[in-house]
């Protein structure tokens, strides 16, 4: 397919103008081809304006900035709530922006991993992002269990690259009454494989376990319905698909059915205290009746400001329309690779519906070398050991022409 066809697709794209809302990085000689949004999303132009607004408020109002100015800081995180709810398919009472991803994972495991002698196992993926493995291992240890016994790793069948959904359900069934928690990423960081959450959640509940998900590669990428799927909890970061900047503030979801529960233990801090009595500074904790009860500290306002800039774009574009474009872009990307690089590059990410926007690619010849050459040509993708190059066409800011040019650049590099 030609460049003209890619340009035609772009003309027909209802989301094409969102690209102008972002700052693309500068490169020395080539126009940037940014395909690393699965790692760090591009900066929305409004981010600096919104952060500057809060710097101005700080200068102008000092401590009174908590109550004064266009966006007082005391309730600043509430500016994100409705957008997060739309993003992950939740009620507003079920979502909050707070902390960072692994911190939120621990905080929610405090509540949802409450092992007993009989029921103490956690199911995760064998090739999960290392931080998730460290987190579940340390939770098991914290409760006095040996992670080698408590943590059950899901592996693909011999000779297969991906997990089968029926095998995940089977393992949950087999662990049965010994299973306390299923904690999966909904989209694997290394293969791009995404799972059917609803079935996994239903199965976990059927054996009496909780189901929690790490949406690091799902939030802002996939179409999610956490409330309807009855997921118990979820966490996500905002620096990848959500474009909130490095170290961006993370998200957390707790299903409505658990809110206000007296039996669910929770770590506490003053930001989780009932807002009407918080500043009475009393010694007794009275939890906010929403997921905000899990908040510990007053949040970093500048990080929230850039997240607000990004979430406004998601609200305008809608996650449904973004996923629709994402499927077209990624399918186009895959077809271009198959057309031009059949023998040099293998797509290891499964087909729809088991994926989002990211494609994980195996370059048959010296991937690390290719990576360096690509960088010199203005291409932003990333490399994961031992031989995976990850590239993601982001529907908010990548075009079909970008994808066309990316594959042409791959061709130049592998044929060099």
Ligand X SMILES: Cc1ncc(COP(=O)(O)O)c(C=O)c1O
Residues binding ligand X (CB under 6 A): 100-102, 129, 131-132, 185, 189, 214, 216, 237
Residue 26: partners with Cβ closer than 8 Å, 6 or more residues away? 32
Helix residue spans in 160-240 (DSSP H): 165-175, 197-206
102 versus 354: smaller Cβ distance to ligand X? 102
How far apart CA 257 and CA 200 sit, in angstroms, is 18
Between 190 and 413, name the residue whose CB sits nearer to ligand X: 190
Nearer to ligand X, 107 or 237 (CB): 237
DSSP 187: B
Looking at the Cβ atoms of 54 and 132, the one nearer to ligand X is 132
* 48/100 with CB nearer ligand X: 100
How far apart are alpha carbons 13 and 176 in whole angstroms?
47
Tokens at residue 200, please? 């996994």
Separation between Cα atoms, residue 380 and residue 367, nearest integer Å: 14
Rounded to whole angstroms, the Cα distance separating 188 from 242 reads 17
Closest distance to ligand X from the beta carbon of 330 (Å): 18
Residue 67 or 142 having the CB closest to ligand X: 142
181, containing H or E segment: strand 179-185
In sequence order, what E strands does 258-409 have? 345-347, 359-363, 379-380, 382-384, 388-391
Three-state SS for 50? helix
Say how far apart CA 182 and CA 330 lie, in whole Å. 29
Q: Give whichever of 101 and 406 is closer to ligand X, judged by the CB atom.
A: 101
What does DSSP say about strands 251-254 and 95-97: parallel, antiparallel, or unpaired? antiparallel
Secondary structure class of 178 (helix, strand, coil): helix
What's the distance, CA 74 to chain centroid?
Answer: 26
Taking the complex as a whole, the smallest distance from the CB of residue 41 to ligand X amounts, in Å, to 12
In 113-262, alpha helices (H): 130-142, 147-150, 165-175, 197-206
Task: Identify which of residues 65 and 218 has a Cβ nearer to ligand X in the complex.
Answer: 218
For ligand X, the closer of residues 84 and 129 by Cβ is 129
Least separation in angstroms between residue 343's CB and ligand X is 31
CB of 357 to ligand X, least distance (A): 14
Shortest distance in whole angstroms from residue 176 CB to ligand X: 27
Provide the token pair at 398: 């990548």
Nearest Cα neighbor of 168 from 133, 200, 120 is: 200
**Closest distance to ligand X from the beta carbon of 390 (Å):** 11
Q: How far is the CB of 397 from ligand X (least distance, A)?
A: 20
- Rounded Cα distance between 82 and 285, Å, is 26
Minimum distance of ligand X from residue 348's CB (angstroms): 17
CB of 99 to ligand X, least distance (A): 9
Nearer to ligand X among residue 128 and residue 175 (C-beta): 128
Directed axis angle between helix 3-11 and helix 319-340, to 10°?
170
Q: What angle do CA 342, 348, 350 make, to 5 degrees?
A: 110
State in angstroms the smallest separation of the CB of 119 from ligand X: 25
């Amino acid at each position: 397919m030609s460049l003209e066809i890619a340009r035609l697709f772009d003309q027909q794209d209802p989301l094409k103008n969102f690209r102008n809302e972002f700052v693309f990085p500068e490169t020395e000689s080539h126009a940037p081809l940014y395909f690393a949004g699965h790692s760090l999303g591009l900066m929305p132009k409004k981010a600096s304006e919104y952060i500057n607004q809060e710097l101005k408020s700080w200068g102008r109002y000092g401590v009174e900035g908590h109550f004064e100015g266009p966006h007082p800081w005391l309730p600043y995180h509430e500016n994100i709530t409705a957008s997060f709810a739309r993003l992950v398919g939740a009620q507003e009472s079920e979502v909050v922006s707070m902390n960072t991803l692994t911190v939120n994972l621990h905080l929610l495991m405090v509540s949802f991993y409450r092992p007993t002698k009989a029921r103490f196992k956690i199911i995760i993926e064998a090739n999960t992002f290392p931080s998730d493995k460290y987190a579940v291992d340390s939770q098991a240890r914290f409760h006095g269990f040996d992670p080698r016994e408590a943590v059950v790793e899901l592996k693909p069948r011999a000779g297969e690259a991906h997990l089968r959904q029926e095998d995940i359900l089977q393992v949950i069934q087999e662990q049965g009454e010994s299973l306390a928690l299923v904690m999966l990423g909904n989209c694997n960081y290394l293969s791009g494989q995404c799972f059917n959450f609803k079935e996994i959640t239903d199965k976990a509940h059927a054996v009496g376990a909780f189901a929690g998900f790490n949406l690091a590669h799902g939030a802002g990428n996939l179409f999610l319905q956490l409330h309807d799927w009855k997921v118990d909890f979820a966490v996500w970061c905002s620096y990848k698909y959500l474009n909130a900047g490095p170290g961006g503030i993370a998200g957390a979801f707790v299903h409505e059915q658990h809110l206000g529960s007296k039996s669910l233990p929770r770590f506490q801090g003053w930001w989780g205290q009932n807002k009407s009595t918080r500043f009475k500074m009393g010694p007794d904790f009275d939890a906010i009746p929403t997921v905000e009860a899990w908040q510990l500290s007053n949040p970093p306002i500048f990080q929230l400001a850039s997240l607000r800039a990004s979430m406004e774009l998601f609200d305008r574009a809608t996650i449904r329309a973004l996923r629709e474009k994402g499927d077209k872009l990624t399918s186009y990307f895959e077809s271009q690779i198959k057309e031009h690089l059949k023998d040099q590059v293998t797509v290891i990410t499964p087909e729809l519906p088991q994926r989002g926007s990211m494609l994980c690619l195996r370059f048959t010849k010296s991937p690390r070398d290719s990576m360096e050459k690509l960088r010199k040509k203005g291409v932003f993708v990333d490399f994961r050991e031992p031989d995976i190059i990850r590239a993601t066409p982001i529907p908010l800011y990548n075009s079909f022409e970008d994808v066309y040019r990316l594959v042409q650049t791959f061709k130049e590099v592998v044929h060099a």
